Each structure stands twice: as C-alpha cells, then as structure tokens.
Amino acid sequence: MGLQEKHRDKPFWYSFIYAIEGIVTVVKQERNMRFHLLSSCIVLLMSFYFSIDKMEWLIVLILISGMFCLEMVNTAIERVVDLVTLEYKPLAKQAKDVAAGAVLVYAVVSIIIGAFIFIPYVFKLLRTIEIS
C-alpha cells in the first residue's frame, strides 16, 4: 500500500492534525518564524491599543498570515532541498536563496505598509502627550 492509499483511509480531520503539527514544527525549529510570531504579537497589541479601523485590521491580518505562510513555504523548500542533497550544489543554493528572498521582499513590504498604518496613530499619540 502506497502513501496516498494510507492517507485516503484516514478521516478528513486528520489533515488538520498534520497541518497543526507542521505549524508547531516550524515554530519550534525556525528562529525566523519565532521572530515573526513575536513581531505579530507586537503588531496585534498596537492594533488593539490604537483601535485601528476595520480595513486596517484586514490589511494587518492579511500581512501577518501571509508572512507566516511564506515562512512555512520557505522552510518546506529548505527541508526538501536538504532531503535531496547534503552536498553543495549551486541550484540547491539558488532554490533556498530565492525562497528566502521571497520572505525578505514580503517582510519589507509588510513593514512599509505597517508604517503607513501606524505612523499616523503614533504621531497623534505624541501630539496628545505634548499637549498634556
């Protein structure tokens, strides 16, 4: 019996268990994912503190979930490349570098968008503190 047949015999909800195991694995084993998790908690706390509007919440949640997803895909690519070869190969390096580059581009764009959302709230807070 092949791997696919084994999975077909399992109940549908097992796929959720496997997905959660994958999320737990990447959080435990990947320093960058823990950094993204900490950063996301800070952003969420700021979002509650500043009472950002509904559209801003949607943007923040899309950016956070996109970052998590991209980091997990990057980790999966790294694992597959490491599984295929342990020796140095230029194409393996390129695959890893391109995946990491995608994460970096998304992170930079997320920071820029986050700045557009939060800087006005921070300035408003600072003006309120100055007046007091």
From the centroid of its chain, how far is CA 21? 16
Q: What angle do CA 82, 88, 91 make, to 5 degrees?
A: 80
Catalytic residue among 21, 56, 71, 87: 71
Looking at beta carbons, which pairs linking 17-26 to residues 24 or more positions away fall under 8 Å?
22/72, 23/72, 26/71, 26/72, 26/75
Specify whether 71 is catalytic.
yes
Quote the tokens at residue 46. Answer: 């700021």
Is 18 marked as a binding-site residue? yes
Is 96 marked as a binding-site residue? yes
* Binding-site annotation, residues for substrate: 71
* Binding-site annotation, residues for a divalent metal cation: 30, 78
* Binding-site annotation, residues: 18, 30, 71, 78, 96-97
* Binding-site annotation, residues for ATP: 18, 30, 78, 96-97
- Residues labelled catalytic: 71
